[in-house]
Structure 1
Amino acid sequence: MQDWVLESEKEDHLGDSFVARTFKQPSPVIHTTLIHHIANPNADKAILYIHGYTDYFFQAGLAEYFISLGYRFYAIDLRGYGRSIRPYRPPTWCESISEYIDDLDLALATIKQDGIAETIVLAHSTGALISANYLAKKQQAPSLDNDDKQTLSTVTGLIFNSPFLALPFSPQQIKWLKKPVKAIVSSFPSGVIKTNKPIVYAKSLHSQFEGEWDYRLDWKPENGFGLSLHWLNEIIRAQEWLATQTLNIPTLLCRSEVSTISKKSVGDMQQGDGVLHVESMEEAVKNTFDNLTIKVIPKGFHDLYLSKEPAQQAYLQTMSDWLTEQD
């Protein structure tokens, strides 16, 4: 684990129940931020939430839900996201998905220092790909296992909220689209795809448009950040590598019933996952995870917690039931 320096520790903007600890690596200068809910200080198990792409942690009600179940709650804003954005580093930028090993090591080390031996990782979209790659790489390095057990809170389970483990096409489309997509993104590594208008998925979420949520649009812009082709190439490489691995950690996959990627109206997009293809998602998870439970959430959004109330409550209850089964 790289050397991190605690740069600040203060009440988070979510309110006095949350504390944000910002850590810094000196060379190159990198920041990452760990947010935690201060309740249940004596609990010996925690939830660690990992956000997706063009995202950050703002779901205070999600934290409160796990607090009500008796867990400690943590969330990380990875380098280049949310609270960890800095003007001298492009938002969301990474050279490789493997960079986030340092961020997750830091989070789990801090959780261990807080007295928590076991952690369930709850990961959304790209956060699921990052956490899955993290655990698979740790599994490949057994010589580090004893050191990790001493310094890191042990990840005892995974909950995936619409994981980005496959490209957003149907299984049939992936067979013939994957090679040309790889060729394009690898040929133009400095390319960036930008849009100047709000995307339909963002309009389905934020209260400024037709959604129900109020979050910072400078950290989660309505037209997204520029999509780096280098970043997309690294995502594809990470997905391909993960497909060669096998993990038997208890895992819960939660996904919507249908994909609504191509829908043009907010109302139509809100009937399902407007970002990823749910069949390809499930196929990819089944390929790698042996100890797997799959739950389908009708009318769940891509971020299932941000769904309208019936689907949101079904998602929360699904996680609660699965956690009870793991005890």
Structure 2
Amino acid sequence: MTTWYPDFLGNDFSYTTINLEPDDQGPVVATLVRHLPADASQSAPTDSAQPHFALLAVHGWNDYFYQTEFAQAITDYGGRFYGLDLRRYGRSHREGQMWGYTSDLKNYDEEIQAAIDIITAQHGQDFPVILYGHSTGGLTTSLWAARNTTQLAGLILNSPWLEYQDSFFAHYLGRPAIDAIARISPTKIISTSDNGFYQRVLTGWKDEDGPMPVHQPGDPFFEGGWKPDARFRHFPSFPIRAGWLSAVLHGHAQVAKGLQMDLPVLVLTSARSEITNTWNASQRSVDGVLDVDLIRQRAAHLSNHTTLVKLNGAIHDVMFSRAEVRAEAYAQVCTWIAHYARL
């Protein structure tokens, strides 16, 4: 039986720790967080308000689960929301561990499977589960879904990192050189820079941005930001290590060959990207992290049933965009679940 403990996100959230097999870096755990409002937890088993699917969300690089509004939107639609902090991320990081490090994305199979087992033990073996991944989590969940299609009712990807865009270490070194470094010194840090623009976008409108635009009152996108926990989302970002980068590049290579899953897939992205080293306020309405054109090119080969949605004004994590964009994203997700997920 799974034991749940109060989570720091608030009264409607609780977590359980998943003990995993030690990997090549030592002992590890994962953390499963669930959204369960008090009124839902007190409902009778035959109540029509009982959930009819679960959504399991996997975060991206330098991240953890804290998308509380998205969780509420899924609950309001009749689902049960779970967020998974992978090993060495967020709630699952332990003292002395290298943040976010893995040498093989398949290592995450264990915690994803364990989370689904907990969900189906709670709701029934035939309970539909939709897997969701953001950014690097979108790559990890795509690869997992391709190997475990029959366990899922669908896959939702939020700005998934499916292809490596130009950067000095990928463009000038390339995968063979990164692989060679990873074989010799997998934990070697690959020097990168973090311009802080995305962190700035996540933490609300700043005085130096000029007059605040007209917006929905109380929208965290403008007023105060999303308050990412500095313990778990670092600025500058976690250091990138050769073994981890090699694992990601190998994942991209698998996607490039075409996964061609027999599974409904929804891909949400911003309508456009603007990747620059000069700050301007337009960073608050574009994907400033990944090239959305590359994402859409690769996404077309994920499955024989892929839905692509471009969201005007969305940022990299579309669920943290301004209020009207978030509302559209939630509507697109719910419509897709209603029409295409295998419930």
Q: What TM-score do the two structures reach when normalised by structure 1?
A: 0.86
CA drift of 1:203 comes to: 1.4
Q: Are residue 62 (structure 1) and residue 76 (structure 2) matched? A: no
- Tell me the equivalent position of 1:284: 298
Matches within 5 A, 1:1-327: 9-25=4-20, 27=22, 28-39=26-37, 40=40, 42-116=50-124, 117-138=127-148, 154-169=151-166, 180-189=173-182, 190-193=187-190, 199-207=196-204, 212-244=225-257, 245-326=259-340
CA drift of 1:310 comes to: 2.0
CA distance 1:300–1:45, shift in 2 (3 Å):
same
CA drift of 1:263 comes to: 4.9
AA aligned opposite 2:202: L
Computed over aligned residues only, the root mean square deviation of the Cα atoms, in angstroms, reads: 2.4
In 1, Cα distance between equivalents of 2:283 and 2:199 = 10
Gaps of 5+ in 2: 42-49, 210-220
User: Contact 2:20/2:110 (CA < 8 Å) preserved in 1?
Assistant: no
Give the fraction of aligned pairs with identical amino acids, expressed as a percent: 23
AA aligned opposite 2:152: V
Task: Describe the superposition over 1:206-255 as per-residue Cα deviations: whole angstroms up to 9, x where unpaired.
Answer: 24967621120121112101111221111010111233322120011111
User: Contact 2:260/2:304 (CA < 8 Å) preserved in 1?
Assistant: yes
In 1, Cα distance between equivalents of 2:299 and 2:86 = 23
In 1, Cα distance between equivalents of 2:21 and 2:242 = 27
Gaps of 5+ in 1: 140-144, 146-153
AA aligned opposite 1:310: E
AA aligned opposite 1:236: L
In 2, Cα distance between equivalents of 1:253 and 1:237 = 21
Task: Describe the superposition over 1:153-204 as per-residue Cα deviations: whole angstroms up to 9, x where unpaired.
Answer: x3111111001111134xxx9xxx6684213422332431456866211111
Q: What TM-score do the two structures reach when normalised by structure 2?
A: 0.82
The structure with higher relative contact order (CA 8 Å, sep 6+) is 2
User: Contact 2:20/2:111 (CA < 8 Å) preserved in 1?
Assistant: no
Aligned pair count reads 304
AA aligned opposite 2:230: L
SS at match of 1:237: helix
In 2, Cα distance between equivalents of 1:266 and 1:313 = 25
AA aligned opposite 2:52: D
In 2, Cα distance between equivalents of 1:197 and 1:129 = 21
In 1, Cα distance between equivalents of 2:4 and 2:96 = 22
User: Contact 1:259/1:278 (CA < 8 Å) preserved in 2?
Assistant: yes
